Copies of this chain bind each other. A is one copy, B any other.
Amino acid sequence: MSTSKSETVVSLNSLKVACRECSLNSLCLPLGIAAADLERLDAIIDRKRPIARGEHLYRCGDSFQAIYAVRSGSLKTYATSEDGQEQVMGFQLPGELVGMDAIVDSAHPLSAVALETASVCEIPFSKLESLSGELPSLQRQLLRLMSQEIRDDQKTMAVLAQKSAEERLAAFLISLSTRFHQRGFSPVRFNLSMSRGDIANYLGLALETVSRLFTRMHDDGLLRVDRKEVELLDREKLCLFAGANCAHQPPRKTSGHTP
């Protein structure tokens, strides 16, 4: 299925790609930046070689030099408590930024590891800082992305604080679905790059519970699962389970944003 020719195309595709040609630029840092200014941003970004599954982008405690944008593949971030326990804090998809939690004291509080082969753009923070002093649109987008992260984390807190196991998993799947959709992929059929254990850990559940929920949801006709692949058969109902803050809500006030 792969020829040397297609491989060449892939490498070019994954290794160069300036921001202006990147299909993710409307989700990422370049959003709203004029073409002329975009070159200056491009100039400070380092496209790193792909990192393999299991390889770390940085580890907890590492000194903070840069934030990273996922270009392809996916990452997970996690904390390690002194007793060696791991707490998964999030999963990052293409177009999402990682490492903004390290700005405050120049050391990473989490570790970031690739869940599958992934490529990232490294954005040296000191350069980003000075450039965003010069480009208001860049400054604005950086603040927006950090604000978005705060909001997403709050959403997760709410899920953990008040949802049942089934609702948590539904919310998780809907979140992934929405994010895949934004990135041009199918919102109903996608791959889970993380293990059941990672999902359970992230959602504050036991691994066995997640497994049971998948079979239960399958039996209820909500989805199909085969190993890593999921297909959402009834996204509507999953949205309701999740706490209903998905698209299409007729009886609502102004074009609404719900928490």
| A contact residues, range | 35 or more
Q: Are B133 and A129 in contact (CB under 8 A)?
A: no
In the complex where A146-B147, A147-B146 touch, is A256 in contact with B83 (Cβ < 8 A)?
yes
Q: Provide the residues of chain B in CB contact with A107, threshold 8 Å.
A: 257
Nearest opposing residue in chain B for A140, CB measure: B129
The main secondary structure of chain A at its interface with chain B is: helix
Q: Provide the residues of chain B in CB contact with A151, threshold 8 Å.
A: 101, 104, 109
A34 within 8 A of B: no
* Number of chain copies forming the complex: 2
Which residues in window 13-65 of A have CB below 8 A to B?
60-61
A102 within 8 A of B: yes
Partner of A89, one of B105, B158, B203: B158
Q: Mark A64-95, 1 if CB is under 8 A from B, else 0.
A: 00000000000000011111010101000000
A-B contact pairs, 20 of them (CB 8 A): A80-B259, A81-B158, A81-B258, A82-B245, A83-B245, A87-B162, A89-B157, A89-B158, A101-B147, A101-B150, A103-B147, A104-B145, A107-B257, A109-B154, A129-B139, A150-B150, A153-B154, A160-B160, A161-B201, A162-B201
A-B pairs with lowest CB-CB distance, top 4: A161-B204, A103-B147, A79-B259, A160-B160
